[in-house]
Structure 1
């Protein structure tokens, strides 16, 4: 049997409930000094520093915490400071592969030299093109060309002149038909039939000449090529001398040799700007000679820090892409159309991403995992991952990757990834948890005062006096739902500062005062009060059946929160009283408690657990006295929405006792709290909102002076009530009672002793338990008579 507990409830005073910051304890504005930006987040700071210092693979970071905590600002500050002392990474470029145009080469250079390399190569081409044009158009060079062409032309003329004379001697004329075939026909002066033998001899002579001329023409082109080559070598090789001496890395050096040889080989095309050689896009540099700088660090000191929380919009944005162009119905691509992604920009440094966005675009998360595991950036357009066609695709060299990735996300997302993705923990070994609350003490109060002053100054807001700062600290304390803590949500603080400053400016006040902060808070509450006002109107109209005075058997005012679940700090949520009723029917040996909400699937598992605990507690109290010959039903009246949680367990237990004992419960009191199997009251959430809800309901017909709320003692620290409610408590117009056990609550609610015993150790007949046992005895006798 449960050991019976009988204690006195604690009637809370204003002293017990005060959580306000004294403005006089705050330093003056001129006394505030620079603060530590990592204050309150030392655990997250240490975790991030650990990951940054470990260079082995897999030590990427998941930074967890609510949105708006300032994770981004703190991480950026930390990474920026850390990056200053890291080596500046290499520059990366893509160049044309003269051996296989479909496999562009990736070249890396010391930081700051990649862009210079590209500029030098492009400048060499421009100089070569200019000098070659001058050379090839010079009189001396043209005379050499003309002499070779003239020699060939003279030889050609002599061959054909000799053949023509021989043909004339035999009265024949050379013709070339449409098929390019030669033939001899009689001339007009011919006076005898065609001699086929002579004709065949002339045809043989013609084809011999053609053969010789072909050989001579080939020699001519070889001589012209040699002339071009010698001229190109004389111009181009000196341009490459310094570059070849500077860049001695084998892959880069070999590329420069291949580039030099290709420019010499194609000197004539360079000067003529032949179609197909320069490409079909408007670029003064031919694609084959274009150096595509993918990432460079010309102005970088230390390693890069890329913060891409809101930039990620596609697969290509993260991994890079290969662009295509279409002209005159032809689609093509080359290495100059490769575009870098965030990973290229962050290579050698740090990349910060919003974790949620990785799952909003196809294949991004899987692609990131593959890239981090291979430690290489493989360029591939997303559409190529799902097709076997390779007609247009390039296969660029992979680029080695050395990056530390930091993901920003919620703790829920972290656990989802841990549970559903076996690769996640192998890659993101470090979790940095950002706290959304900090302990309330002198140090944190000073820190927040400094933070407020700094934010005000940075945003050029009117100065806040100490009463305004104290009011803001009070609101941060209230939002933490614990008088021993401050809420650490950066966006919430900033929004309150901005709106308070707006109120002050509107009032033409040079300072932001406490009154301006209070007005800003009232405006905020008003903006989010539309739904709650509809509920209060329902109560005023009598549509919601509540009693705030008198007493009733089997009826009790419980407290609930109507939460729309938009986020962790739903501004639209509000407290509301809820009538719970209990009905008892004699029933042989049952002792069952019917939960109507659970039976119609309007309640969750936690609510059901509270009901089972309550039934277990009931059996432990009265099981020794015989069978529990009754059935009970409990209902949350006028509730049409899904409920979960066990915060109504105390109320349900008390109303069940009331119905069993036929003892009325005072309707001027409401109760909230969970309960364990031993009857001890347990803390629940949202107590400030629940108390406020009942206070507002009582105000509809006016406070009577005896109304109040009963809650667990362990929840006293969570009570952060408005000045209006605190004033009513101080004036004894409203009351808060804290209890440790359900028996204390029962005594308050019924005004009777709960479990007093006589000298024999039996419950007194006028005690609540005595009345319950009397009814059990009566029912048992009734059942015995019937049987």
Structure 2
């Protein structure tokens, strides 16, 4: 689709073959276009199944090794980089080298707190000693139980016990007989009275040989059968004897308590030698002040509650519903390194509060109340990884404020506390507050590239806790050695995953793909997961074709299949261009119109297509109006580019007169946000064309950023942009004059597919590299750009002279009309 040329007195200068005259110095030489990795290159560098270390990350590896060796506080790691650069694999591979050091491992166990039942105590042990300690304590309990059971066969003990009981019962019986005898003489006897479904002991008067009540006697007094004085005398004696009886019962209860204490002392005295002997063995086997202090409290509590250890058929109190009484003498080993040969390396893929810090489990009582105990405490990843390494994804932790703050607090204090999950609701009844556990763990966070900088500057605690960033680069220098490592990587994936063998041409195509990913001819991408995916897909297509090996044609088909899967939007845009729905012309010339180049990046696939950029200018004082911005479709970087244009016009042309222009710049038929400054040079050209009414070639597309001095700056997506414009020209018809203008600094980024390369070699398509706006003007207009003379004037007939003259005229027009 061609655009009609606008009439102008400043017509392009044509060469003898009818094409606009273009300086050959600006056309990119073929040797800078040519790009390929040959089979000879691969054969020269292929060492077969060569073993190699992590590829292309010397900086990150140095950071990993330093941080993992440092023992100082805060030397935790934050690993950054784009996905696919092997961050996680490298972390695990490097950490594996330091897992042989098990000197920091500890077993963790919670035990009953005899002083504060809701605050379980923590004991730590040498690796593997926690479970033996629990076994010893359980054996201690069994020892006490067996010793008590054996006492029933001990004649000396039973005789002492029976003597104490018989003597006590004799004293109790004599006291009661004496009291009952005196009661009988006074006309009373002891009776049991039912009271509110309970029995109580009372004293009743005896009348006519039978016990009666004072209420019954009152009736007989009222009937004249009993003298009232006799009734009153009995009543008074009743209260006296009731007081005496209560005193007797109090003495008897005290006597029974003394008997129970005597029996307890008797049992303790019989069991103590066995208890102390077993306790001494435990203290000798397990060192530590905290352990010995708890053992002392354990012994005291066992002695205090010796009756709990009595056989089930004994009269001693038995366990009540709920937690068995002897369960308090258990040991909850929450971290056991008995079978641990290397320091732990844990990757917690779905961290929440319980998975990181541990949990308190609850059981439901018959009453409906929740109950927890020290035996229901469970360790989290921080405790399990203590003495080793814990790997977390930053995006899994940082968005959860409570979790992130708790993690920072644990790292800072080197302690982890198992507590109920924090939240808006009150802590569950029956929750415990266990003693915090000391931890010695190296925390490794992985995250996207900018996150470390953001956290370091916004979170004052972050820099103190994560002192070492390990930054994974997405590319590496392309040398013989790194290419050799690339080949080795391809061989390794083939071997480890059982893929079809790679031919040298197939490896060459894979290396080319790695170079293309990096966007630099002298670089290789380190996003190895993407490279490996191409190999896996190539194996699929080779199998579908019945091939036994993978050569370049299979890799080419793999990439073509990928494009087909991803390029539906690309096809739709091409259909609109071919049908004329999108107004893109690739022939002729026009004033105030130019083909810019835009990259559409879907994340997993990027392509480029031309976009029509137009400009309209007139005298005025509004400056350059960014239509995209006015309609809310301009990003911040694009806004900046527009402001630079105005500075360029002012410094380039309006040196001795005011810049008096109202101009509008628009990306035609664009309905999504435009961002970036890669079209700023195209916007300069289209503005100058509109100002000077000089037509621009429509068969040349433009990309490149510009500064206020008119210098062209490099941009991204160069290969995609060139290939995108070539594809459109191919659809609409190649004329042999079409091409693309790119910044000269982007020459190292030229990694074009073979079809475009061949078209350039055959002069059916052209690529021009420029350093200034003036060079681009000469290509687009066919006119000299014009330089200022010693007198400060541009050369007559040049584009710059025309632009300056027209801007001066606009300034006079605005002044003549009062600045409006």
* C-alpha distance in 1 between matches for 2:625 and 2:177: 124
2:675 to 614, 635, 644: 644
Deviations 1:435-488 (A, max 9, x none): 110111101111111112112222222222222111111111111111111111
Whole-Å Cα distance in 1 between the matches of residues 157 and 649 of structure 2? 114
Query: Residue 110 in 1 paired to residue 126 in 2?
Result: yes
| Closer/same/farther in 2, CA of residues 600 and 156 from structure 1, 3 Å limit | closer
Q: Tell me the equivalent position of 1:180.
A: 201
Q: 1:203 to 1:48 in 2, by over 3 A?
A: closer
Taking structure 1 as reference, are residues 216 and 559 closer, same or farther at Cα in structure 2, changes over 3 Å only? closer
CA–CA separation in structure 1 for the residues paired with 2:806 and 2:363: 90
The equivalent residue for 2:536 is 498
SS at match of 1:402: coil
Secondary structure at 2:98 match in 1: helix
In the alignment, the residues of structure 1 paired with residue 177 and residue 680 of structure 2 have an alpha-carbon distance, to the nearest angstrom, of 122
- Residue of structure 2 in register with 1:554 after alignment: 592
The match for 1:121 is 137
Moved more, 146-155 or 524-533: 146-155
Deviations 1:110-154 (A, max 9, x none): 122122212322333345445544555889876765665556556
How many Å separate the matches in 1 of 2:460 and 2:191? Answer: 84
1:90 aligned partner: 106
Q: Secondary structure at the match of 1:752?
A: coil
Q: 1:685–1:177: structure 2 CA closer, same or farther, 3 Å change rule?
A: same
Correspondence 1:232 to 2:271? yes
1:510 Cα offset (Å): 2.1
Cα-to-partner distance string for 1:507-537 (whole Å, 9 max, x where unaligned): 2322222222222212222221122222122
Alignment of 1:509-520 (within 5 A): 509-520=547-558
> Which of 624, 629, 632 is 1:593 aligned to?
624
Report the 3-state secondary structure (helix = DSSP H, G, I; strand = E; otherwise coil) of the residue aligned with 1:382.
Answer: coil
In 2, are the aligned partners of 1:728 and 1:734 still within 8 Å (CA)?
A: yes
Pick from 580, 588, 595 the counterpart of residue 613 of structure 2. 580
Q: How many residues align?
A: 770
SS in 2 for 1:352: strand
User: Which of 335, 340, 343 is the aligned partner of 2:382?
Assistant: 343
Are residue 18 (structure 1) and residue 60 (structure 2) matched? no
Measured in 1, the distance between the counterparts of 2:180 and 2:640 equals: 118
Question: CA offsets, 1:558-595, max 9 Å, x none?
Answer: 1111234xxxxx1243211111122233x27x594333
Q: Which runs of 5+ in 1 are unaligned?
A: 1-5, 565-569
Q: Does 394-403 or 448-457 show the bigger shift?
A: 394-403
State which of 710, 720, 723 in structure 1 corresponds to 2:741: 710
CA distance in 2, matches of 1:145, 1:167: 33
Any unmatched runs of 5+ in structure 2?
1-21, 195-199, 212-225
Tell me how large the CA RMSD over aligned residues is.
3.6
The residue aligned with 2:217 is: none
1:429, distance to aligned residue in structure 2 (A): 1.6
Of 593-602 and 760-769, deviating more is: 760-769
Q: How far off its partner does 1:60 sit?
A: 1.8
Residue 327 of structure 2 aligns with which residue? 287
State the SS of the aligned residue for 1:411.
Answer: coil
Corresponding position: 1:353 with 2:403: no
What residue number does 1:221 align with? Answer: 260
* 1:231/1:625 CA distance change after superposition, 3 Å: closer
The separation in 1 between residues aligned to 2:262 and 2:755, in whole angstroms, is 104
Separation of aligned partners in 2, 1:666 and 1:622: 23
Equivalents in 2 of 1:620, 1:571: separation in Å? 42
8 A contact 1:184–1:199 mirrored in 2: no
Q: Secondary structure at the match of 2:201?
A: coil
Structure 2: how far apart are the matches of 1:667 and 1:30?
A: 47
TM-score by length of 2: 0.85
Residue 478 in structure 1 maps to residue 499 in structure 2: no
Deviation at 1:280, TM superposition (A): 3.0
Q: What is the CA–CA distance in structure 2 between the aligned matches of 1:181 and 1:463, rounded to whole Å? A: 103
Change (3 A) 1:734 1:306: same
Q: Distance in 2 between matches of 1:214 and 1:655?
A: 110
Q: What is the CA-CA distance between 1:670 and the residue it aligns to?
A: 0.7
1:553 Cα offset (Å): 1.9
CA contact (8 A) 1:9 1:744 kept: no
Does the residue aligned with 1:575 lie in a helix, a strand or coil? Answer: strand
Please, which moves more after superposition, 271-280 or 120-129? 271-280
Q: Judging changes above 3 Å, is the alpha-carbon distance between structure 1 residues 143 and 535 closer, same or farther for their aligned structure 2 residues?
A: farther
Pairing of 1:38-187 with structure 2 (within 5 A): 38-85=54-101, 87-130=103-146, 132-133=148-149, 135-136=151-152, 149=165, 152=168, 174-178=190-194, 179-186=200-207
Deviation at 1:633, TM superposition (A): 2.6
Deviation of 1:710 after TM superposition, in Å, equals: 1.0
SS at match of 2:291: helix
Q: Residues 718 and 219 of structure 1: is their aligned pair in 2 closer, same or farther, counting only changes over 3 Å?
A: same
Contact 2:308 2:318 in 1 (8 A): no
| Correspondence for 1:3 | none
Q: Where does residue 685 of structure 1 map in the other structure? A: 716
Checking the alignment, whether the CA contact within 8 Å between 2:190 and 2:201 is kept in structure 1 is: no
Tell me by how many angstroms 1:408 deviates.
0.9
What is the TM-score of this pair, normalised by structure 1?
Answer: 0.88
Could you tell me how far apart the structure 2 residues matched to 1:631 and 1:746 are?
22
Question: What's the CA shift for 1:95?
Answer: 0.7
Between 504-513 and 662-671, report the one with greater CA deviation. 504-513
- For residues 808 and 469 of structure 2, the distance between their equivalents in structure 1, rounded to whole angstroms, comes to 61
Q: In the alignment, which residue of structure 1 is the partner of 2:363?
A: 325
2:640 to 591, 609, 619: 609
Q: For 1:34 and 1:127, how far apart are their aligned partners in 2?
A: 63
- Partners of 2:659 and 2:287 in 1: CA distance: 95
How far did 1:335 drift?
1.4
Cα-to-partner distance string for 1:227-272 (whole Å, 9 max, x where unaligned): 4323433543333331122224222112122223333443432345
* Aligned mates of 2:527, 2:687 — CA distance in 1: 42
2:336 to 296, 305, 309: 296
